[in-house]
Amino acid sequence: MILPPGFEQQSIVTSLGRMVYYTNSGELWRSPERLESQNLPTLLFLHGFGGGSSAYEWSKVYPAFASEYRILAPDLLGWGRSEHPARSYQIDDYLTTIIEFVEQTCTAPVPVVASSLTAAFTIRCAIDRPELFKSLILTTPAGLSDFGENYTRSFFAQLVSVPVLDRLIYSTGVATEAGIRTFLEQRQFARSARVYQEIVDAYLESARQPNAEYAALSFVRGDLCFDLSLYVTQLNVPTAIVWGQKSQFTGPEIGQRLAALNPKAIRHFQTLDDVGLTPQLELPAVTIGLIEKFMRSLDS
């Protein structure tokens, strides 16, 4: 996995398997007056789902916070370098392991930066265990079956529900360099020119891990989708949302409807022009600026 300088790999054991995470280490990020102190506040980054997803998704953003925060950027179960149990993944698997990760690695309520479906899971975790979360900054949080939509009825979800065919589609259409690049350029990014080779290589490495198809196919089948609009009104943790205007799977109008359901908790909703599903990869500098802005606002 491609890691920025000054970061190392560590891991914890959850009830469903080992989760790898990446954190800042050594003197690179510490000013002289802090060399004796390890008590930096924690900032947690959670990646979204899709063929080849991993903590790499945030690797152009989290180093900007490494001198002021203890960074935690895990590969979720079934993705990246974390364990890949051969199972049909369900929503509760991720709600459980996200909460277990926070419990094991954080000693105080933590601000969380999360994306896409994982961001929607994070909302549910914050509803169930609000004492664990200080604030949420979320990019394109959607359950993918919001406001009564049924993602599982989509053509592709039905296609990958066919046994044998699902793994054939994954091995030939997803876990290949051409498949990864085509998806990033045509579906995930607003501008194909922003997809460079390192991004493709990182996604491909994750997609080719043993048993990587289990989590990916569970996601594509719709096993992990839900209607976030049924939950968002219960959220009390201060939240900001960033939404790419050209997100193909869920447009910003979905986000605006979700935010309108709970303006007390969701204090900021920011759209970004000419950006797709992952602003953290397309425009990392802009994303960093927005995270800094919203963290100050939500903390106040």
- CATH code, domain carrying 271: 3.40.50.1820
Domain-located, residue 219? yes
Give the per-residue pLDDT at 35: 46
Give the per-residue pLDDT at 164: 67
Give the per-residue pLDDT at 31: 67
Give the per-residue pLDDT at 206: 97
Residue 192 CB neighbour total at 10 angstroms: 12
Domain-located, residue 1? no
Residue 300 CB-half CA count within 13 A: 7
CA distance 31 to 299: 24
Give the per-residue pLDDT at 32: 58
- Which amino acid makes up residue 274? D
Give the per-residue pLDDT at 225: 95
Give the per-residue pLDDT at 34: 54
| Count of domains for the chain | 1
Give the per-residue pLDDT at 156: 64
Domain-located, residue 2? no
Give the per-residue pLDDT at 173: 83
Kindly give the parts of the chain with pLDDT less than 70. Answer: 31-38, 155-157, 159-160, 164
pTM of the entire structure?
A: 0.95
Q: Domain of 155? A: 7-299
Strand order in the sheet with 266-272: 7-14, 17-24, 70-74, 42-46, 110-115, 133-139, 239-244, 266-272
Domain-located, residue 59? yes
CA proximity to 11, closest of 72, 66, 56, 63: 72
Domain-located, residue 153? yes
